[in-house]
Amino acid sequence: MSDNLPRMDYRQHRRARRLVHECCNYDEGNCLLLDDGEPCVCVQSISLSLMCRWFRVAVLPLDGELAAALLYRGSRKRCAVCGAAFVPKSNRGKYCPDCAGRMKKLKAAERKRKQRQKCHALEPFKPA
């Protein structure tokens, strides 16, 4: 089973440990799901692997970049603007969700600028 678990490097582990505190089953370093009468240490906070299924499904998507780096290693891409890792929604995706909206506005403005430049209605009137 450990062959299928994604492994984290130290930076990813630190980011995951910060996220562990967002888990609804986390209680002062202990996991409520594993509690059977005596406190049990949260396995995700001490492991370099993604062991906790609840963490993987419910908490990890809160940090999209970390989730893309760990869960979608083969299908992730780098953003053309900021270089962040993300999972594209289609095979043509170039930008992360944060940069996509900004780039959409810039490209629309550029497209409209070209359209206005080609339009003859904005040129000064020349009598024949």
Name the token pair of 30.
């202990």
- Is residue 66 a contact partner of residue 19, using CB atoms and an 8 Å limit? yes
> What average pLDDT does the chain have?
82
- What pLDDT score was predicted for residue 104? 95
- What pLDDT score was predicted for residue 3? 54
DSSP state of 59: I
Name the token pair of 88.
């594209």
- What pLDDT score was predicted for residue 1? 44
Task: Kindly give the parts of the chain with pLDDT less than 50.
Answer: 1-2
85-86 and 26-27 as β-strands: parallel, antiparallel, unpaired? unpaired
